[in-house]
Amino acid sequence: MSMKASNRQVDGITIVDLSGRITLGEGSVTLREAIKDLLGKGQKKILLNLGDVSYIDSSGIGELVSAFTSVRNQGGELKLLHLTKKVHDLLQITKLYTVFDVKDDEAAAIGAFSR
């Protein structure tokens, strides 16, 4: 299953709803392009909704890290929302869980962005 990404705006925050697999090849490229596109439009407060992401491999993890640093380097903020158990465990063992700002509730996540 390939990955899909769609955007919506809530209170000035761009929520990117991702679904499918973020893996080497198509999935990683889709995420990279989505982030590049948002940053190009000056949308720097990004909430990645991973609730429908079933699987991430090392390339996908790298792409999440790349998204995080790209947004941060441009003075923005990137947070993660609704991790599945599989993705949660993967971020735990790679020690990235504490690097990312991970949220379980969309409204709380929106409120956590700096204004």
Partner 1 sequence: MTAPQRVSYRMESTLDSVNKAEEMAEQQAARAGLDEDTRSGFSMAVREAMINAVLHGNAYDTAKRVNLSFEQNGRELIVTINDEGRGFVPEEVPDPLAPENLLKESGRGIFLMRAFMDEVRFRKLEPGTEIILIKRLPGSDLDREEAST
Tell me the three state secondary structure of residue 52. Answer: strand
Q: What does the alpha-carbon distance between residue 91 and residue 48 come to, in Å, rounded to a whole number?
A: 14
Work out how close the CB of 30 gets to partner 1 at its nearest, in angstroms, rounded to a whole number.
14
Under the binding rule (CB under 8 A), the answer on residue 94 touching partner 1 is yes
Work out how close the CB of 88 gets to partner 1 at its nearest, in angstroms, rounded to a whole number.
13
One-letter amino acid of 53: V
Among 10, 99, 107, 108, the residue binding partner 1 under the rule CB under 8 A is 99
Q: Pick between residue 49 and residue 70 the one whose CB is nearest to partner 1.
A: 70
Under the binding rule (CB under 8 A), the answer on residue 24 touching partner 1 is yes
Q: What does the alpha-carbon distance between residue 13 and residue 54 come to, in Å, rounded to a whole number?
A: 24
Q: What does the alpha-carbon distance between residue 46 and residue 82 come to, in Å, rounded to a whole number?
A: 14
Closest C-alpha among 70, 68, 87, 88 to residue 78: 68
Work out how close the CB of 77 gets to partner 1 at its nearest, in angstroms, rounded to a whole number.
15
Under the binding rule (CB under 8 A), the answer on residue 1 touching partner 1 is no
Under the binding rule (CB under 8 A), the answer on residue 66 touching partner 1 is yes
Whether 44 and 75 have beta carbons less than 8 Å apart is answered as yes
Q: Which residues contribute to the site for partner 1 (CB under 8 A)?
A: 23-25, 57-59, 61-63, 65-66, 68-69, 86, 93-96, 99
